[in-house]
């Protein structure tokens, strides 16, 4: 069958660098860090006492107080970003067939705030089970996609992908596939996460996965630097409107970029560590390129998973060199997690937005905090250190890899 072309027509973001796309993008290209001491709870006894929190978010801008209490924080963020994306797309102002518009969302954890707060309250009580009637509907990871569909009356395909830190890239790939197969005319896709609480910080500390650079949070997320000591936890949401090209053209929509391919793979190696030779990362990029029908030489930018962990960063770069050969030295590589921290299941969504805007604007956001390059890393690779760079970006890849060995990559091309 003739596959349909899929384009991006709307963007929305709630991030540690800003609660809308414009603020987020401008702070990315300026190289601003979103990391700071934790304000949500008393973290003084934790090994890590900082994170990349969303700042100044007002849920009452989107919900009345009664409705807000029925939603977990990750759903607040998801709805807020989708409101911006839907408005940006212009879909809401036009007579679209809402039976043909869906929501495919990603979240690695879902309502961790709700789960923690309800179990804390039970543990402090006398053993009598007094749980909030909204406990389960607030907590389950799929609920955000349901709320987004109800917000806009969207009756198309609706589900949530859960693949740890690859969740929202998997959601993007699924949305892309549904549209190009003719099963929807448009889909609200992306992801949201809100895990900055005692359970999230304590759990990742127990995994020995997070940075403990408490004396200087702004420089703690330092992918590719010799002195990196783990990732910095972030939170937030990104929403992307994907739309069938002919439908977008008929209604005169603005088009940011075109999605042309996606790949998925598994490391089949370890529950938290990547394959040391980056075999899963190599497979996922190769599959994404094959699906897109382009050669490695057409890629100008890779937004890497780049979490600032000693094993993960080097394994991904090995995979890039393996796939791209000599062309790897002509590609701009950067990790925007150096600024946003790691948004877990929402990482692919906000990094997808960064990659879309890099393609549209011909600007590469930097990898900040590279001061002492890891000697295991090839110095000829262009990691876009510390400052953004301008260049033509014909096509780009956004990579995300998750606990359990889940890998997903999407290919974004300049629309012509």
Residues 319-370: tens digit of each pLDDT: 999 999 999 999 999 999 999 999 999 999 999 999 999 999 999 999 999 9
Predicted local distance difference test score (pLDDT) of residue 92: 80
Task: State the first-to-last Cα distance of the chain, in angstroms, to the nearest integer.
Answer: 23
Segments of the chain scoring below 50 in pLDDT: none
Give CA 210 to chain center in angstroms. Answer: 18
Sequence-ordered list of residues with C-beta below 8 angstroms from that of 337, at least 6 positions apart, any chain: 221, 223, 231, 232, 234, 305, 306, 307, 308, 347, 351
Among the listed residues 77, 79, 86, the one whose alpha carbon sits nearest the alpha carbon of residue 18: 77
Residue 314 shares a structural domain with residue 408: yes
Among the listed residues 79, 101, 31, 46, the one whose alpha carbon sits nearest the alpha carbon of residue 236: 79
Residue 346 shares a structural domain with residue 403: yes
The CATH number for 347's domain is: 3.40.47.10
Give CA 194 to chain center in angstroms. Answer: 12
Among the listed residues 103, 47, 56, the one whose alpha carbon sits nearest the alpha carbon of residue 77: 56
Predicted local distance difference test score (pLDDT) of residue 172: 98
Just list the catalytic residues: 165, 305, 342
**Contact, 294 vs 263, CB < 8 A?**
no
The pairing of beta strand 406-413 with beta strand 257-266: antiparallel
Residue 126 shares a structural domain with residue 19: yes
User: What are the tokens at 75?
Assistant: 């759903």
Q: Is residue 37 part of a domain?
A: yes
Q: Is residue 392 part of a domain?
A: yes
**Count of domains observed in the chain:** 2
Residue 207 shares a structural domain with residue 115: yes
Q: Which domain holds residue 313?
A: 263-413
Q: What is the pLDDT of residues 382-395, one digit of tens each?
A: 999 999 999 999 99
Q: Is the whole-model pTM more than 0.95?
A: yes
User: What are the tokens at 397?
Assistant: 């890849």
């Amino acid at each position: 069958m003739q596959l349909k072309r899929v384009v991006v027509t709307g963007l929305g973001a709630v991030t540690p660098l800003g609660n809308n796309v414009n603020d987020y993008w401008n702070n990315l290209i300026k190289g601003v860090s979103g990391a700071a001491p934790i304000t949500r709870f008393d973290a003084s006894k934790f090994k890590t006492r900082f994170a990349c929190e969303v700042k100044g978010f007002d849920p009452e801008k989107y919900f009345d107080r009664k409705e807000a209490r029925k939603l977990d924080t990750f759903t607040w963020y998801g709805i807020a970003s989708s409101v911006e994306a839907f408005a940006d797309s212009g879909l809401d102002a036009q007579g679209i067939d809402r039976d043909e518009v869906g929501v495919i969302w990603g979240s690695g954890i879902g309502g961790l705030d709700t789960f923690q707060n309800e179990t804390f309250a039970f543990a402090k009580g006398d053993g009598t089970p007094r749980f909030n009637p909204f406990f389960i509907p607030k907590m389950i990871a799929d609920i955000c996609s349901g709320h987004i569909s109800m917000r806009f009356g969207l009756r198309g395909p609706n589900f949530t992908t859960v693949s740890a830190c690859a969740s929202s890239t998997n959601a993007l790939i699924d949305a892309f596939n549904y549209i190009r197969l003719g099963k929807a005319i448009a889909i609200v896709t992306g992801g949201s996460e809100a895990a900055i609480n005692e359970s999230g910080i304590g759990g990742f500390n127990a995994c020995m996965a997070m940075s403990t650079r408490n004396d200087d949070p702004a420089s703690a997320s330092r992918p590719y630097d010799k002195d990196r000591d783990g990732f910095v936890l972030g939170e937030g949401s990104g929403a992307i409107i994907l739309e069938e090209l002919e439908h977008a053209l008929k209604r005169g929509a603005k088009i940011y970029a075109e999605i042309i391919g996606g790949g998925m793979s598994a490391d089949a190696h370890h529950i938290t560590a990547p394959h040391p030779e980056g075999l899963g990362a190599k497979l996922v990029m190769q599959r994404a390129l094959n699906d897109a029908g382009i050669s490695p030489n057409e890629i100008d930018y890779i937004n890497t998973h780049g979490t600032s962990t000693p094993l993960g960063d080097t394994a991904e770069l090995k995979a890039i060199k393996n796939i791209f050969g000599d062309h790897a030295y002509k590609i701009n590589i950067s990790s925007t997690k150096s600024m946003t921290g790691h948004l877990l299941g929402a990482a692919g969504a906000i990094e997808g937005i960064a990659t879309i805007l890099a393609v549209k604007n011909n600007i590469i956001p930097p990898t900040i905090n590279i001061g002492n390059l890891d000697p295991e890393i090839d110095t000829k690779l262009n990691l876009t250190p510390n400052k953004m760079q301008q260049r033509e970006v014909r096509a780009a890849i956004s990579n995300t890899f998750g606990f359990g060995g889940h890998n997903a990559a999407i290919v974004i091309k300049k629309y012509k």
